[in-house]
Chain A
């Protein structure tokens, strides 16, 4: 199959930890914008961005909530950067059993950053960060559609080998009927 090039827009927040002043305005506005009705309340514990801060060790890392994960990592690493020791979790975006970050305080359900989808001005944490620790950037990326096609074929091949072609096709048919 011929590889087809496609472009997609990747939304990025560039996080400059050196500029962060630790004020947590990002947490305030994030929790307000996601409140129902919008702006009706705020509570940094519901925020989808957190500043992992340890002022006396000069550690300030704004982290945006990523995917939920059922299990914590088997081991933990430490990063030493410019003489400052960071826990691996300092850079991790997961809502994870190992920590309280990125969970609704009442229900414990995971929180995930949606880049303020639908907000005219883009992510509100960026707008409220006047010290330029958070900068919004969009970039275009070319992706190779064919690659994923190939991957799919390899995967199906493996399933056909394991379960037989007929069984696999029956299953696909049943799944699509449900769909």
Chain B
């Protein structure tokens, strides 16, 4: 008997219209856990490095995390894995919501799409009955609208729908997959879904998910709930409110946006407005939010209310989460009222709320600077808000200039030429980043930005405070109940970290400490992504209820896999290394691992090199960021090592061919 997981994947070949229920190997679960881990294994095994995002050979994998569908609070994430049209690398975008548990109850751990359908279809999974159905009547419909229509026509109000909007259909490189209050937005997973001709995947499941040791497992779940209550009553003092509690930053709840609006950049990640947040604006924005927010809402089996139902006058209702609240507002130099309005359209179109506003602001900057001209924007309104609506429509339809912009700032700049690449200034690995421009290099963040393969800082940071606390007594207080640390040395790193003087950034934490800190933070995200746990209750906030000390127990009693901290650390390292291997095989190297040049004003090239050297070493990668044969062998990934040698990425006698240069 399989516990926590169902032991079956649903394999759908869209070219031939073939559907198969395939039993999976339990040994793979032990090695790669589930979710991201087993997704990565499928991608390595079945998608050659020559295949691009829109090749029929590319897979689009909807993987439910290993513990999704069990009573573990907040464990509801679907991990989307494919080759990204934007980065040409492996992408693993995630969504919370209700879809992954429903898939488990239907009897599957993953849906694996391959091939392409010539007509637009949707997939209807009702327990053991799976159909590919015509979706021609849904062409051009919004993602939220599509979900409603399908639920009605199937008479299945409880079915969960993951759908794309027009952006996905038209293969916009930053198209999202929307699902109720959640979305998988990064890396263009929606474009791949559209390319495969799939408008939606609809799931309804009414079967059991079993756990191996029921009483122990429920005991662990209850402890987590108790700890959540404790943390709600004891916010962390000395950090800004959105970092004090659990969950995603509580953007739907919090009205005070002084910090974001005055510290994040406006426009095309250019302008800092230090005195923006006045009483008048605070009053105006609070009113806007209060009038449009109908309810704070949650994902499956989670008490954190990170999302909200938003109804703007005269517009259909939609569900919003987190920082999309401000990205459009700030890119357009507008106000919250505009932001909430355009986000409704963007949600229906199905686009990423980080990339999209930046692409539009980038286009307007090119116009201002004469690289693009009025002829490129025929009929565009004069006002900033009108321009954003106009651009959004052109992008999702790939009309005129929109066809170029739909590829994101990096590729658009390549196509436009004439020095446009200077304006595509906020990318890492060809992906638009949060609009942050800071002064002093933060060595921890440098490493996270540079080496992250999730393309989003929020999906690698967490656990360790973002900045030192000014007073020693506050630091001492903070470490008192810091049970989450994997090792007590992290407490000392933090105690000794000062805002100024000898023990301050960029040279403290030291290179070795930074490597440890980043490794820990990344490890927790990778574990979450295999288990399906929301980062908001685990790897993202300070002092979360899930950590390296209780996770092994969850896996042992939940999935029936004998686990301890060491074994879990090794498993996480195994599939983290496999993710890197997939990207190395696709050409990613050290030279790609750099934050935007203007991310910090004060840079330290020598230190940055040392940081990368140190981190690669800790990870068991060579100087070019390639996992060494020795590391691969230790992790049981000899098949990767052999492939690297066969391809000349590594040589038999040396660690890397690249090291010679």
| Chain A residues near B (Cβ < 8 Å) | 21-25, 28-29, 32, 35, 37-46, 54-58, 60, 105, 128-131
Q: Once the chains bind, are B71 and A42 in contact (CB under 8 Å)? A: yes
By the criterion CB–CB under 8 Å, are A130 and B229 in contact? yes
| Complex interface residues of chain B between 201 and 216 (CB less than 8 A to chain A) | 205-211, 214-215
Asked if B180 and A128 sit within 8 Å, CB to CB, the answer is no
Q: Which of B264-320 contact A (CB under 8 A)?
A: 294-303, 305, 309, 316-319
For the complex, give the distance between the alpha carbons of A105 and B158 in Å. Answer: 14
With a CB–CB cut-off of 8 A, which chain B residues contact A38? 214-215
Residues of A within 8 A of B295 (CB): 21, 58, 60
Q: Residues of A contacting B298 with CB < 8 Å?
A: 21-23, 131
A29 touches B297 (CB 8 A): no
Check if B300 sits within 8 Å of A41, measured CB to CB: no
Inter-chain contact A39/B207, CB cutoff 8 Å: no
Which B residues, 36 to 73, have Cβ-Cβ distances below 8 Å to chain A? 69-71, 73
List residues of B whose CB falls within 8 A of some A CB: 69-71, 73, 98, 105, 144, 148, 157, 180-181, 205-211, 214-215, 217-218, 225, 228-229, 232, 294-303, 305, 309, 316-319
- Interchain CB contact under 8 A, A55 and B181: yes
CA of A109 to CA of B133, assembled, Å: 32
* Distance between Cα atoms of A23 and B211 in the complex (Å): 21
Q: How far is the CA of A127 from the CA of B302 in the complex (A)?
A: 13
User: Nearest 9 A-B pairs (CB), nearest first?
Assistant: A39-B214, A130-B303, A45-B206, A105-B206, A41-B208, A23-B298, A21-B298, A40-B214, A39-B218
Contact (A21, B305) CB under 8 Å given A41-B210, A42-B70, A105-B207: yes
CA distance A41 to B558 in the complex (A): 10
Residues of chain B lying within 8 A (CB to CB) of residue A56:
144, 148, 309, 316-319
A25 touches B302 (CB 8 A): yes
- On chain B, the residues within 8 Å of A131 by CB distance are 298, 303, 305
Which of A24, A35, A45, A55 counts the most B-chain CB atoms under 10 A from its CB?
A55
- The answer to whether A23 and B217 touch (CB under 8 A), given A41-B209, A43-B207, A56-B317, is no
Contact A43 B297, CB 8 Å, known A130-B225, A130-B303:
no
List the A residue with the shortest CB-CB distance to B316.
Answer: A56
List residues of chain A with CB within 8 A of the CB of B71. 28-29, 32, 39, 42
Q: Closest approach, in angstroms, between the C-beta of A103 and any C-beta of chain B?
A: 10
Q: How far is the CA of A25 from the CA of B224 in the complex (A)?
A: 13
Once the chains are docked, how many angstroms separate the CA of A87 from the CA of B600? 57
CB distance from B481 to the nearest CB of A (A): 21
Contacts of A39 in B (CB 8 A): 71, 211, 214-215, 217-218
- By a CB distance below 8 angstroms, the chain B residues around A105 are 206-207
Q: Can you identify 9 A-B contacts, CB atoms within 8 angstroms?
A: A21-B305, A23-B300, A29-B71, A35-B208, A41-B210, A43-B209, A55-B309, A128-B225, A130-B229
